[in-house]
Structure formats: C-alpha cells, structure tokens
Amino acid sequence: MLANLSPAERRRGVVAVSTGNHCQLVAFAARRFGVRAIVFVPEDANLVKLRAMELLGAELRAVGESFDEARHAAEAFAEETGMPYIHSGNEPLLIAWGGHLRA
C-alpha cells in the first residue's frame, strides 16, 4: 500500500491504529519506504509489541482505554492532518495484496 502513495502522501506520512500486529507491519513498511508512521494504540497495549513498533520507527500515541477509542482518535488525527489512514481490516489495497500472497 505504501508503494502506491503519491509523493505528497509519502511526505505527510501515514496513520494507523492497532493493538500491535497491524502497526508493526505498517511501521516496517513505512521505514522501508522512508515514510513517517504515527501509530495510535490503546493505553493498555502490549508493551512488547509497543517496543517492536518503536524499534521499527513508529511514533506511538497511546489514547483511550479501548481499541475503538484509539481508532476514533487516529481517524480524527488523519482527517485533521491529511495523512493517509491505513485501516487494519478494511483496506482494499491490503486485502488485494493479501489475496495475492495466498494464491
């Protein structure tokens, strides 16, 4: 998905939310493409996964007590900043690529 971002979108960076696994992948891809990744997580997210995201270069924002609270904050932030939001489950480019990998 990051390969399909325009140069302007890459300069702005991306926003995502997860409790760990999705955003580790986002952070990995962002580092590989030289894109800033801001990751929203619930305040009680797994510390090992948080550390992994940080080591991959993600900027963490702990918000709220639940995934949904963190997701709402991430979506609002993406809208305010114009940064592309990478949804953890409803992202057509990720779904299409995932299907390609399973074939």
pLDDT in tens, the chain (103 residues): 788 888 898 899 999 998 878 889 899 999 999 999 999 999 999 999 999 999 999 999 999 999 999 999 999 999 999 999 987 655 555 544 444 444 3
Residue 12 domain flag:
yes
> Is 1 domain-assigned?
no
Please tell me the total count of domains within the chain: 1
Comparing C-alpha atoms, which of 29, 98, 90, 19 is closest to residue 60?
Answer: 19
- Domain assignment present for 57: yes
Task: Flag whether 52 is in a domain.
Answer: yes
* pLDDT value of position 94: 52
Establish if 98 belongs to a structural domain: yes
Residue 2 covered by a domain: no
d(CA 52, CA 2): 20
H or E element, residue 70 = helix 67-81
CATH classification of the domain holding 75: 3.40.50.1100
pLDDT (0 to 100) of residue 74: 96
What's the domain range around 58? 7-102
pTM for the model stands at 0.82
Q: What residues have CB less than 8 Å from 26, skipping those under 6 apart? A: 14, 16, 18, 37, 39, 58, 86
Is 96 among the domain residues? yes
**Helix 21-33 and helix 47-55: axis angle, to 10°?**
10
Answer whether 30's CB lies under 8 Å from 59's CB.
Answer: no
**Residue 88 domain-assigned (yes or no):** yes
